Amino acid sequence: KTLCVLISGNGSNLQAIIDRIEAGKLNATIGCVISNQPQAYGLQRAQQAGIDNYCLSHRDYESREAYDEALAALLARYQPDCVVLAGFMRILTESFVNRFSGQLVNIHPSLLPKYKGLNTHQRAIDNGDDVHGVSVHYVTPELDGGPVIVQSRVPVFSEDTADELASRVQEQERQLYPLVLDWICNDRLYMKDNKAVLDNEEL
Ligand code: GRF
């Protein structure tokens, strides 16, 4: 299967996917990596791995619609089976999301439906939660609201800073995302009627 990965920053999830493929444990090809931020370190990771990579800056486009059109056109060249949002910090238009419906996944650093949006780690600390975590979900037009595929939990310790908690969560992310992509690449996972289905069981 062909994956295209969208990023905005460091790209540690991208790296975990690259490493899993290179280790022969994920039967996929990364067609391309696209960042909306020119300085995203993940672009260098893609370059180092010999993967086609592009900066498509949203600043060069007049509207969200125009940007998403350009993004869809670039992706279409690679005919991805799955578009993987890995720290892509932009809200996608409904028409983009619908175009890739069932082929678009995201990783979000909270136990959805808790803490949609930004600053999830600080919000978990501020609320006194003792458990936090990460979710991988299908993307639908509702922001961070698509069907959850799988979650991983981490403890929150009383002295935690948001950064410490984030790095504990990110350790889990690097395990979880390649696992989900493995299910997708082996045709074990799909979305039907706005539900995630794994091995013929609704999740
Ligand atoms: C991750 O924490 C992910 O959950 C969130 O953005 C961060 C991206 O990290 N959506 P990286 O760029 O993969 O290192």
pLDDT digits (tens, 9 = 90+) for 58-71: 999 999 999 999 99
CATH of the domain at 74: 3.40.50.170
Q: Is residue 122 part of a domain?
A: no
Residues contacting ligand 1 via CB (< 6 Å): 7, 9-14, 42, 86-87, 107-109, 134, 170, 173
pLDDT bin (cut points 50, 70, 90) of residue 196 is very high
Q: Is residue 140 part of a domain?
A: yes
Report the alpha-carbon distance of residue 199 to residue 203 in Å, rounded: 10
- Residue 106 marked in a binding site: yes
pLDDT bin (cut points 50, 70, 90) of residue 135 is very high
Residue 100, number of CB atoms within 10 A of its CB = 17
pLDDT of residue 173: 98
The residue range of the domain holding 33 is: 2-109+134-151+173-202
| Count: domains in the chain | 1
Q: Do the Cβ atoms of 87 and 8 come closer than 8 Å?
A: yes
Q: Do the Cβ atoms of 174 and 12 come closer than 8 Å?
A: yes
Report the alpha-carbon distance of residue 181 to residue 158 in Å, rounded: 34
pLDDT digits (tens, 9 = 90+) for 1-44: 999 999 999 999 999 999 999 999 999 999 999 999 999 999 99
Q: Is residue 125 part of a domain?
A: no
pLDDT bin (cut points 50, 70, 90) of residue 164 is very high
Q: Is residue 13 part of a domain?
A: yes
- Closest ligand 1 atom, residue 9 Cα: 12
Give me ligand 1 centre to Cα 13, in Å. Answer: 7
Q: Is residue 47 part of a domain?
A: yes
pLDDT of residue 153: 98
pLDDT digits (tens, 9 = 90+) for 79-88: 999 999 999 9
- Closest ligand 1 atom, residue 170 Cα: 2
ipTM of the complex: 0.97
Q: Is residue 129 part of a domain?
A: no
Q: Is residue 120 part of a domain?
A: no
Residue 157, number of CB atoms within 10 A of its CB = 11
Q: Is residue 103 part of a domain?
A: yes
pLDDT of residue 152: 98
